[in-house]
Amino acid sequence: MTNIEYKIAKSKEEFESIKDLCQEVFAQEEMELIHDLAYNSPNKEENICFYAYDKKADKYVGTVSLIVMPIRYGQVILEAAEMGIVATAKNYQGRGINKKLTEMLLDKAEELGYNIIGIEGIPYFYRRYGFNYAVPMGSVNFNLDKVETKVDEEIIIREAKEEDIPFIVNNFKEASSKADLCTIKGEGIIKAQMLDYISSITRKRYLIIEKNQNKVGYLSLNSGDEVEICDISDNLSFEIYEVVLNYFKKQGKKSINIDIPQESKFVKLMERYDYNWKQWYSWQIRILDEFKFLTDIKPVLEERLSNSIYKNEQVDFYYDNYKDLIKFEIDNGQIDLVKEKREESHFGLKLNPQGAIKLFLGEKSMSEINSFLPDCQMNSKYQELVNILFPKMNSHFYMTY
């Protein structure tokens, strides 16, 4: 399609035209989301919006955005981004426009040093672009009729103010530590979610929990009429969590949804009652360069070795990803990674991209992966070592823009 140009939006005119396209394809909230990412986000200079333009028709016909999305893997912060707001005009679908925009995005991401790209969507739908199922998305649906009505005058819940943001930031760090793998957000994002964003997708309602006039915790809610708790302090007593439940019950709410790490204390309280866990979309991940990824997470791998039977051992271990052969030189808990010439019969671990995502991001163990991906193989000699280096992980992706 020689009449289609592919560009990066830089001017207000371009962003406004992309907003119009999103409103045409989706709805008002996606149009407002583009507005927030382009104008209101603290990462607006780093967020990149790609678009397709039909010169002949003078029309914007496709768009996709690269959105800053840092990820914490253990104690390591990885430079990552989300591929989001994928839209193609109705009469232009099936012409390869989305494919070209995706290729542009991935090339730009690699150029900028991002190595992990994620997309939220229907499981396996984006495998054709190299994305693989990595992080399930779900939430607890809880019926408030099960909660006994209580009154505790020492505990109050109020709307958060701008001066509460540093307190919220510190509490979020503690709450998110329940996940081994998670997206993270700092003061700028929390401020924008609370005060600056206009889209119902990005704007959050933050509440402060006080006991005897002292701040003890916070929670944040997604926009909308339904109660959807998207994060909450993890260091509170069950008594205080029950006050939170009563807070919404007294407002006449029949149920709430809770979208936080399953290992969180608040979710553990739900285990005292019957609740429904529902899974919906998932996060799918593409690692652009596995050697770089393994190098980036090396401090985490070395920490795992230091707490294992391999802490004083020397082992040479080969990983084959059907493209490269990566040698793990393990010496007393330290790891050197070396690329070597690939040999078909020379490996301790062999993974295709789907298996690599599941193992490295802790969604499945190697034995589980091998049960449905027969081309993912492991020499039994290294089974214990692989389990130590890549255990299953608790993961949760928060909204971080």
pLDDT tens, residue by residue, 372-389:
999 999 999 999 999 999
Q: What is the C-alpha to C-alpha distance for residues 65 and 39, in angstroms, rounded to an integer?
A: 14
What SS3 state is found at 156? strand
CA 271 to chain centre: 25
Mean pLDDT of the region 274-292:
86
Query: CB–CB of 364/352 below 8 Å?
Result: no
- pLDDT reported for residue 320: 95
- The residue to which tokens 């089974």 are assigned: 383
Structure confidence at residue 281 as a pLDDT band (50, 70, 90): confident
Instruction: Report the topology of domain 139-279.
Output: Aminopeptidase (3.40.630)
Nearest CA-CA partner of 100 in 246, 243, 2, 206: 2
Name the H helices within 71-197: 97-112, 165-176, 187-191
Structure confidence at residue 75 as a pLDDT band (50, 70, 90): very high
Q: Over the stretch 324-350, which tens digit does the pLDDT of each residue have?
A: 999 999 999 999 999 998 876 678 999
- pLDDT reported for residue 236: 96
Q: Over the stretch 114-151, which tens digit does the pLDDT of each residue have?
A: 999 999 877 777 888 899 999 888 888 889 998 888 77
- pLDDT reported for residue 87: 94
- pLDDT reported for residue 345: 66
Q: 12: buried, middle or exposed (CB in 10 Å: 19+, 13-18, 0-12)?
A: exposed
Q: Over the stretch 49-60, which tens digit does the pLDDT of each residue have?
A: 999 999 999 999
Question: Whole-model pTM?
Answer: 0.92
Sign, CA dihedral 355-356-359-363, equals: negative
CA distances from 241 to 4, 184, 214, 360 (A): 55, 23, 16, 34
Instruction: Report the topology of domain 289-393.
Output: Nonspecific Lipid-transfer Protein; Chain A (3.30.1050)
Rg (CA), the chain: 23
Q: Which of 7-11, 92-96, 137-141 has the lowest mean pLDDT?
A: 137-141
Beta bridge pairs of residue 203: none
- pLDDT reported for residue 344: 67
β pairing state of 76-78 and 71-73: antiparallel
Beta bridge pairs of residue 54: 4, 59
Q: What is the C-alpha to C-alpha distance for residues 124 and 140, in angstroms, rounded to an integer?
A: 23
Nearest CA-CA partner of 32 in 192, 200, 236, 191: 200
Residues 6 or more apart in contact with residue 221 via CB below 8 angstroms:
204, 205, 206, 207, 227, 228, 229, 230
Sheet hosting strand 116-121, strand order edge to edge: 4-8, 48-54, 59-68, 80-88, 116-121, 276-287, 132-143, 255-258, 227-232, 214-222, 204-211, 155-159
Structure confidence at residue 1 as a pLDDT band (50, 70, 90): low
Q: 166: buried, middle or exposed (CB in 10 Å: 19+, 13-18, 0-12)?
A: exposed
**4-114 and 139-279: identical CATH topology:** yes
- The residue to which tokens 């959105």 are assigned: 67
Query: CB–CB of 228/245 below 8 Å?
Result: no
Q: What is the DSSP string of 223-274?
A: SSSSEEEEEE-SS--HHHHHHHHHHHHHTT--EEEE-S-TTSHHHHHHTTS-
Residue 136, both tokens: 């399930």
Phi/psi at 357 (5° precision): -60, -45
Q: Over the stretch 31-51, which tens digit does the pLDDT of each residue have?
A: 999 999 999 999 999 999 999
Residue 158, both tokens: 């109020």
- pLDDT reported for residue 122: 76
The domain locations on the chain are 4-114, 139-279, 289-393
- pLDDT reported for residue 5: 97
Q: Which CATH architecture has domain 4-114?
A: 3-Layer(aba) Sandwich (3.40)
- pLDDT reported for residue 278: 78
Beta bridge pairs of residue 83: 66
